[in-house]
A and B are shown apart, each in its own frame.
Chain A
Amino acid sequence: MSAEPKTLYDKIWEAHEVGRRSDGNSLLYIDLQLLHEVTSPQAFEGLQLAGRPLWRVDANLATPDHNVPTSGRELGFDGITDAVALEQVVTLDKNCKAFGVQQFEILDQRQGIVHVVGPEQGATMPGMTVVCGDSHTSTHGAFAALAQGIGTSEVEHVMATQCLVQNKAKNFAVNVTGALAEGVTAKDLVLAIIGRLGTAGATGHTIEYRGEAIRQLSMEGRMTLCNMSIEAGARAGLVAVDDATINYIHGRPFAPKGELWNQAEDYWRTLVSDEGAVFDASMTIDASTIAPQVSWGTSPEMVAGIDEAVPNPKDMSDGVQAESTQLALEYMDLQAGQKITDIAVSRIFIGSCTNARIEDLRAAAAQIRGGKVAANVTEALVVPGSGLVKAQAEEEGLAQQFIDAGFEWRSAGCSMCLGMNPDQLGEGEHCASTSNRNFEGRQGYGGRTHLVSPAMAAAAAINGRFVDIRNTQHQQGGAA
Chain B
Amino acid sequence: MDAFTTLDGLVAPLDRANVDTDQIIPKQYLKSIKRTGFGDYLFDAWRFLDQGTMGMTPNERQINREFSLNLPEYQGASILVARDNFGCGSSREHAVWALKEFGFRAVLAPSFADIFFGNCFKNGVLPITLPADVIEGLFQRVAAGLTLSIDLRAQTVTDGEQVHGFDIDPALKEKMLHGMDDIDLTLAEASLIRSFESGHRQRQPWLFRD
Contacts and interface: CB of A to CB of B under 8 A. Distances in A.
Interface string B128-151: 000000000000000000000000
B56 interface: no
A248 B114 CA distance: 31
Contacts of B174: 23
Given A19-B192, A27-B193, A57 B210 contact: yes
B204 A203 contact: no
Contact of B17 (A19, A56, A263, A324): A324
A160 B18 contact: no
Interface in B154-210: 169-171, 174, 182-183, 185-187, 189-190, 192-193, 196-197, 200, 203-210
Nearest to B28: A420
Contacts of A256: 206
B204 A267 contact: yes
Interface string A433-457: 0000101111001100000000000
Contacts of A446: 51
Contacts of B103: none
A203 B192 contact: no
A241 interface: no
Contact of B113 (A15, A39, A57, A233): A233
Nearest to B83: A320
A105 to B, nearest CB: 17
Interface residues of A, number: 83
B114 A151 contact: no
Contacts of B35: 42, 152
A50 to B, nearest CB: 7
B111 interface: yes
* Chain B: interface size category: 35 or more
Interface stretch (A128-136, A282-290, A362-370, A459-467): A128-136
B5 interface: no
B22 A437 contact: yes
A376 B178 CA distance: 59
A394 interface: no
A63 interface: no
Interface stretch (B59-67, B73-81, B87-95): B87-95
A41 interface: yes
A429 to B, nearest CB: 14
A200 B190 CA distance: 36
Given A18-B192, A152-B93, A439 B20 contact: yes
Contacts of B200: 15-16, 29
B16 interface: yes
A456 B38 CA distance: 37
B122 A153 contact: yes
Contacts of A320: 17, 83-84
Given A23-B171, A233-B85, A161 B91 contact: no
Q: Name which of B169, B189, B190, B209 has the most chain A CB atoms within 10 A of its CB.
A: B209
A79 B112 CA distance: 40
A84 interface: yes
Contact of B45 (A27, A50, A235, A445): A445
Contact of B34 (A42, A151, A299): A42
Interface in A252-308: 254-256, 260-261, 263-264, 267, 299
B207 A31 contact: yes
Contact of A42 (B23, B33, B210): B33
Contacts of B208: 58
Contact of B187 (A66, A91, A161): A161
B204 A264 contact: yes
Contact of B171 (A24, A135, A418): A24
Given A150-B115, A321-B17, A427-B51, 10 more contacts: A15-B203, A27-B193, A50-B183, A88-B33, A151-B115, A161-B183, A161-B190, A163-B193, A320-B83, A441-B23
Interface of B: 16-18, 20, 22-23, 26-28, 30-35, 45, 51, 54, 83-85, 88-94, 96, 111, 113-115, 118-119, 122-123, 169-171, 174, 182-183, 185-187, 189-190, 192-193, 196-197, 200, 203-210
22 contacts: A18-B196, A29-B193, A45-B34, A85-B31, A128-B207, A151-B118, A157-B183, A160-B187, A167-B169, A200-B84, A200-B85, A200-B88, A200-B111, A235-B114, A260-B206, A320-B17, A320-B84, A323-B16, A420-B28, A437-B90, A440-B22, A445-B51
